[in-house]
Structure 1
Amino acid sequence: MDLQRTSPAGGAGHVAVIGGGISGLAAAHRLLAGGARVTVLEASDRLGGKLMAGEIAGAPVDLGAESMLARRPEATDLARAVGLADRLRPPAVTGAGVWSRGGLRPMPAGHVMGVPDGPAALAASGVLSADGLARIAAEEELPATEVGDDVAIGEFVARRFGREVVDRLVEPLLGGVYAGDAYRISMRAAVPQLFAAVRAHASLTEAVRAVRREIACRAQDGPVFVGIDGGVGLLPDAVAGAVRAAGGEIRTGVPVRELRRTPAAPDGSGGGWRVVTGGGTLTVDAVVLAVPAPAAARLLAAEAPGASGELTGVEYASMALVTMAFRRSDAAGLPVGTGFLLPPVEGRRIKAVTFSGHKWGWVGEGDPDLFVLRTSVGRYGEESDLALDDEDLVALSRTDLAETVGLAARPVAARVTRWDAGLPQYPVGHLDRVARVREQVAKLPGLAVCGAVYDGVGIPACIGSGRAAAEELLATLPPGGAAGGRE
């Protein structure tokens, strides 16, 4: 688990990583491998951000993100690097469903984030009406639609295929990833391969087929997603352990209050950053800012007001996860699959259900007599239910479970995990906003930003963002470090 230094003791200078989520931890891990001295500062009392392992009724379970995209390598590579290779697990079952038109339907194949490549695969699923299928079949006869520099994916797909496709497939799939509104989400930011394809093809149908061919050519053997035995929430602690083993310092419960540049020497050498916390000041050569947009905006206000203003405009969605443990005998009638999505158009209050006891073998091994599942509640623009107390959130989840899959039993235990302002929204123009932020940040030597707000909300994307920030700084840090330490 130890990181190997690639430069002499003293290394490439001292870097403060502000934020102990997976992006910041990944940045710290890479900085130490590059020879830097690293101090991680996390405002809360725990590491990991939206990754959090826990338990319910004695069974291990993730209380935050619970799977990682395996076909993008950053997350699995990091897990292997910090000693978790033998704990990587594919889902024990496959196959998800969608609650549509009053019934639980199999999730159809042949789509890109819910955007289908034609009506054939949809016809057998029953997700769409006959009129909806006919609209898809006629799409290739429509004249091309100009997309410009960006377009909301829901708006574009509705124009080509009709709203039913968006409301019953794109919305629950893509909207679920961002806890957002598909009619606002930027296609260029959220599904860049599809955005490029629709600019190159006259029809959406052919664009989706082109993306699917590209994915098939790149696809590796093995599962699309993986988890970690014991929970994806174990990854941050494993990375933190590797960081400490390599000489990095990690401090929790240390909110950063101010971030200021320090002047260079008369000969132009030196210069760095002063990081002011509630307990003192740290002077460093460089800073990785790995915090959500509101915190980043506050810390950049003095030195990069333009970037700060842009980040102030980023909106977030809140959500809650309701994890419940049932007696396995009470859950015997549930479908065997990973779970199902509930489109907002159906009027249900839960947005998704994960059958954790089916999906992850290690969850069931915690107590073979229990069956664990979780529901999600809330998304952008639909957050009123989050004002309810935990008991009422459990009750509304139970109501929807009883009315959809017939699970009316009382759970043995229940836990509610709230992720307030948990997911940044990617509306049309988001990537331009990110570019403007980075343009302003680039004017300040020794500063890099990373995290879900910039490069994607998935775990591999966040890890990749942190590593990229580290690489950026390693290329510019002074060989021996100009900064001192705590004042």
Structure 2
Amino acid sequence: MPASPATRSGPRVVVVGAGMAGLTAARDLRAAGWDVLVLDQRSYAGGTVRRTEVAGVTVDVGAEAMLNRRPEGVDLARGVGLEITHPALAASRIWTRGELRPLPRSLMGVPLDLDQLAASGVLSDEGLARVRREPTLGPRTYDEDVSVGDLVDERFGPEVTDRLVEPLLGGVYAGQARRISARAAVPQLLAHAARGSVLEQAAAIPTTYDLPVFAGLAGGMGRLPETLLAALRADGVEVRLGTTVRGLRRTPDGFALVTGSAADPEEVHADRVVLATPAAPSGRLLGDVAPAAAAELTAVETASVAVVTLALRVADAGLLGGLGSGFLVPPVERRRIKAATFSFAKWDWVREAGAADDLLLLRTSLGRAGEERTLQADDAELVAASLADLAAATGVTARPVDTHVQRWGGGFPQYAVGHRERVARVRAAVEQVPGLAVCGATYDGVGIPAVVGSAHAAAARVGPAPVRGTMGA
């Protein structure tokens, strides 16, 4: 098996994966003095942070925003010279019980304002009565992990889970509330329950902050990995896209990675390795190097989603401009879409970009864990399903000028009950292998700041580049 060309300038780290985690880790490692090589099987960098052109306007077809109150994402964007912007409008609704209803103040769907909840009409009289009994429940400490849905069912009743918690968790994790870990997804809820009534503590939960909740980039979040990639290459980092890593093994002085096809393999040597790939490929690569970690990672389930972007003529869009920034759809409504985002209303830059041609751009999302059949349809059917649900929700029956369907197969790791304990076991096993680190959305959070944070931690584990000749195994 031929080795890669000897063009190295110093101790080398190979980063597998050019999503946000891999690019961030590569940036940190280059700054720490390493010769860095990034490998990714896709033809583009950024993973699920990507943008493309629809009706002549370049828009996000993956993640469109990041949490602003957690600093890692915005700090990274500013660090590569990008200017942060914030939503012009962030007023989502819930499409349930036959109407688009205001989303009451909540903690990931758990109600914090009884008056708003009652006025919204999201719950039935029986469901609202069940919520009103929550203050009579005493403190509850969970010795073991519990699902978000089971915890909410117990304190607030299943109607809150079905109509409020499910759509919010579906938007973040593409998961099911009664399978998602409370410790991993909403640890604050466990802390409140341990003290007693969540509703009685609601007044102490902040509703206003010094900073906006979300941040974005004019031109799209996809600019972040594009800019990172350009900066890395300018700094001497080699990034090979369209390169699949098929194997990983230890060598006396580090690691060997097998790339290329089975018929024409290539062996790439590294002193250190960072796996910034999803759970399944990471598990496959770790099979011989860290088998205990591999077993844990291959057990992580994922969800697939599709994002449908629609460009409508302003004259055909009817009342969409007065319906806030979009809406969420509870699974109990049995609709095809799980959410709609009115991008033209949410982001000034999207509205301005479409204005030249009198266009409004919006998007829907489809697919949750366990709903793979929803996505077993061609693009035309997903567009038709999106338009039908939009018409039923808003009354707008416009024919789009252009459409785009982006499928994210297995793009959302599921944080099942016991997720944090699983991650601890993975990291304990990986730490037994000197020179190896892992990062990405599988571990500490699926949002951009959490992914960036995990990459910083992985790069810190690798540490600064040593002087050649002082390397340890």
TM bracket (short chain): over 0.9
Q: Is the 8 A contact 2:13 2:273 kept in 1?
A: yes
- Over 3 Å counting, the alpha-carbon distance change for 1:425 and 1:481 in structure 2 is farther
- Over 3 Å counting, the alpha-carbon distance change for 1:83 and 1:66 in structure 2 is same
**Is 1:360 matched with 2:342?**
no
Q: Secondary structure at the match of 2:338?
A: strand
Q: Name the amino acid aligned to 1:93.
A: L
- Partner deviation per Cα, 1:347-376 (whole Å, 9 max, x = no partner): 211100000111112112223101111111
TM-superposed CA distance for 1:204, in Å, is 3.2
Partner residue in 2 for 1:3? none
Q: Is the 8 A contact 1:59 1:364 kept in 2?
A: no
Partner residue in 1 for 2:64? 66
TM-superposed CA distance for 1:135, in Å, is 1.3
TM-superposed CA distance for 1:144, in Å, is 3.6
Distance 1:340 1:325 in 2: 18
Q: Is the 8 A contact 2:104 2:113 kept in 1?
A: no
TM-score normalised by length of structure 1:
0.91
- Over 3 Å counting, the alpha-carbon distance change for 1:407 and 1:282 in structure 2 is same
- Partner deviation per Cα, 1:48-75 (whole Å, 9 max, x = no partner): 1001111111012101110111111111
**Is 1:133 matched with 2:105?**
no
Partner residue in 1 for 2:3? none
Q: Secondary structure at the match of 1:121?
A: helix
TM-superposed CA distance for 1:436, in Å, is 0.6
Distance 2:384 2:118 in 1: 35
**Is 1:337 matched with 2:319?**
no
**Is 1:432 matched with 2:421?**
yes
Partner residue in 2 for 1:297? 283
Q: Name the amino acid aligned to 2:56.
A: G
Q: Name the amino acid aligned to 1:257.
A: R
Q: Secondary structure at the match of 1:61?
A: strand
Partner residue in 2 for 1:82? 80
Q: May I ask how many residue pairs the two structures share in their alignment?
A: 458
Distance 1:358 1:146 in 2: 42
Distance 1:194 1:145 in 2: 11
Q: Name the amino acid aligned to 1:451.
A: G
Q: Is the 8 A contact 2:318 2:396 kept in 1?
A: no
Distance 1:430 1:482 in 2: 38
Q: Is the 8 A contact 1:118 1:136 kept in 2?
A: no
- Partner deviation per Cα, 1:210-269 (whole Å, 9 max, x = no partner): 5x24x86xx4x2321111111101110111111122221111111111111111xxxxxx
Distance 2:469 2:327 in 1: 52
Mean CA deviation greater in 380-389 or 276-285 = 276-285
Distance 2:137 2:381 in 1: 48
TM-superposed CA distance for 1:10, in Å, is 6.0
Which runs of 5 or more structure 1 residues have no equivalent in the other structure? 1-8, 264-270
Partner residue in 1 for 2:102? 106
**Is 1:205 matched with 2:164?**
no
Alignment root-mean-square deviation, CA: 1.8
Partner residue in 1 for 2:254? 272
Q: Secondary structure at the match of 1:120?
A: helix
Partner residue in 2 for 1:347? 334
TM-superposed CA distance for 1:286, in Å, is 0.5
Q: Name the amino acid aligned to 1:284.
A: A
TM-superposed CA distance for 1:105, in Å, is 0.7
**Is 1:284 matched with 2:249?**
no
Distance 1:64 1:178 in 2: 13
Partner residue in 1 for 2:48? 50
Q: Is the 8 A contact 1:285 1:482 kept in 2?
A: no
Partner residue in 1 for 2:467? 479
Distance 1:469 1:416 in 2: 33
- Over 3 Å counting, the alpha-carbon distance change for 1:194 and 1:183 in structure 2 is same
TM-superposed CA distance for 1:146, in Å, is 4.1
Q: Is the 8 A contact 2:438 2:458 kept in 1?
A: yes
TM-superposed CA distance for 1:336, in Å, is 4.0
Q: What aligned pairs does 1:60-459 form with structure 2 within 5 A after superposition?
A: 60-85=58-83, 88-109=84-105, 111-199=106-194, 201-206=195-200, 210=204, 212-213=205-206, 219=209, 221-263=210-252, 271-278=253-260, 279-334=265-320, 335-368=322-355, 369-459=358-448
Q: Secondary structure at the match of 2:398?
A: coil
TM-superposed CA distance for 1:208, in Å, is 5.1
Distance 1:76 1:449 in 2: 22
Q: Name the amino acid aligned to 1:18.
A: V
TM-superposed CA distance for 1:91, in Å, is 0.9
